[in-house]
Amino acid sequence: MITTPHAIPNRHVQELRELRKKHLNPALSLSYQEPLKIVKGAGAYLYDEQGNAYLDMVNNVCHVGHCHPAVVAAGQAQMAQLNTNTRYLHDNIVEYAQRLSATLPQELSVVFLTNSGTEANDLALRIAKTYTQANDIIVVDHAYHGNSPSMIELSPYKFNSKGGSGRPAHIQVAEIPDDYRGRFLREDPQAGERYAQDVQRAVHDIHQRGQQPAAFYCESILGCGGQVVLPPSYLQHAYGHARAAGAVCIADEVQVGFGRAGKHFWAFESQGVVPDIVTMGKPICNGHPMGAVVTRPEIAQAFLNGMEYFNTFAGNPVSCAMGLAVLDVIQDEHLQKNAAQVGDYLINGLRSLQTRHPIIGDVRGMGLFIGVELVKNHEDKTPATKETRSIIEYLKTHRILLSSDGPHDNVLKIKPPIVFTQANAEEFLQRLEEALLV
């Protein structure tokens, strides 16, 4: 007898909320005061149970559009054929590793697959420590690198917030290179170099405690820090300081990679550097669980110290087929170029809004990863946190999904699927202006 899947009851919102309360992780919040029941996704849109379409400007995971037919087809076909582990030879994993490394600078040629961005950053930590035989880590303030115990330890966004236990002794936090709100401003052509000095300070503090730095982790555009674009040459100088002390440099591209940055496939490229390790997640399979670590051959070889790295699900033929389809779609549908063009259009539109609405303190971003920082005044930049919340709720009533981030939760976080069109951008700009006039 062959089973057919049982029908899943269609429950009312209230019942779902009650069952979540009873049976699900309480430390997981829902979006919005009145949460949405979303039942369908297509392109840049999500649909609720009544069939209302919401323009999704939150989701950098469903990267090439919700339920993209090519990615779905690749997953559907492979899952009916074979889904097993990587201890057998298979075409998909080899093709994927080759295709993925071809998007990166030549020296980044060895691929490790995982099930998530957290697992990727966790693995990068193991690789960095094994390669350097050192233990201490330098991170950037307000960074978030994952939800595992080790990643909470190196995420100031977590360890310095509610429920956190503060900075562990082996972690050094470098000043956030925020050239809108920080010590060195955008007008200063040396802001990047000056912020990078704090990485040197972190190295010094590690040496003071008799240790060596294993790695410098940095998101290529800072996400939880508030959609902060790194000032020119920041990574160049920061990598210089880290490497002079023997550390490896890890570019966390979990949020921003795979063409989202527009001008570049990888956002670190905008800084003119080549990292030692790149970590990937969210957009890699358009929502299917996968992550990756890519590194230089000599670092990968040093990791080969006798301890296997086997990961049960990671690199299975289904994940790799879907990852390949994502690369195909980005290329065939010219989505990196779309991110660049629509991103520029959106940034220009937001800067035009800024001239009329003083609450907009700053507009920054790259491609379709954009932050709009709201402030009560331009002089002391008092965060307009409550207003940010209101704007997000207003946009929701007009069926646009957006969220906020940053240490003061006053930055509109724009990161839609990169199929987002100019018409979508126009709609958003119009609704945002309405919200600002409310």
Residues between 62 and 81 with contacts to a second copy, criterion CB under 8 A: 62, 66-77, 79-81
Rg (CA), the chain: 22
Part in contact with a second copy (CB under 8 A); list of ranges 4-12, 182-190, 256-264, 345-353? 4-12
Query: Can residue 210 be called a binding residue for a second copy (CB under 8 A)?
Result: no
Part in contact with a second copy (CB under 8 A); list of ranges 84-92, 267-275, 346-354, 357-365? 84-92
Pick out residues in 154-183 that bind a second copy (CB under 8 A).
Answer: 158, 161-164
Query: Can residue 316 be called a binding residue for a second copy (CB under 8 A)?
Result: yes
Pairing state of beta strands 248-252 and 228-229? unpaired
Burial 91-116 (b: 16+ CB within 10 A, else e): ebbeebbebbbebbbeebbbbbbbbb
Are the beta carbons of 415 and 260 closer than 8 angstroms?
yes
Pick out residues in 347-406 that bind a second copy (CB under 8 A).
Answer: none
Which residue lies nearer to a second copy by CB, 28 or 438? 28
Size of the chain, expressed as the number of residues it contains: 438
Q: With CB under 8 A as the rule, give the number of residues binding a second copy.
A: 124
Query: Can residue 298 be called a binding residue for a second copy (CB under 8 A)?
Result: no
Query: Can residue 438 be called a binding residue for a second copy (CB under 8 A)?
Result: no
**Alpha-carbon distance values, 427 to 76, 339, 349, 430 (Å):** 34, 17, 11, 5
Part in contact with a second copy (CB under 8 A); list of ranges 166-174, 196-204, 311-319, 359-367? 311-319
Part in contact with a second copy (CB under 8 A); list of ranges 197-205, 280-288, 380-388, 428-436? 280-288
Tokens of residue 40, six digits: 């369908």
Pick out residues in 86-115 that bind a second copy (CB under 8 A).
Answer: 86-95, 97-98, 101, 109-113, 115
DSSP state of 345: H
Q: How far is the CB of 8 from a second copy (least distance, A)?
A: 5
Which residue lies nearer to a second copy by CB, 97 or 347? 97
Give 132: exposed, middle or buried? Use CB within 10 Å, 0-12, 13-18, 19+. buried
Which residue lies nearer to a second copy by CB, 47 or 186? 47
Long-range Cβ contacts of 155-163 (<8 Å, 24+ apart): 157/224, 157/225
Query: Can residue 134 be called a binding residue for a second copy (CB under 8 A)?
Result: no
Query: Can residue 52 be called a binding residue for a second copy (CB under 8 A)?
Result: no
Query: Of the candidates 189, 209, 309, 382, which one interacts with a second copy according to CB under 8 A?
Result: 309
With CA atoms as reference, report the closest residue to 397 among 154, 33, 44.
33
Pick out residues in 318-347 that bind a second copy (CB under 8 A).
Answer: 318-319, 321, 324-325, 328-329, 332-333
Are the beta carbons of 368 and 341 closer than 8 angstroms?
no
Give 377: exposed, middle or buried? Use CB within 10 Å, 0-12, 13-18, 19+. exposed
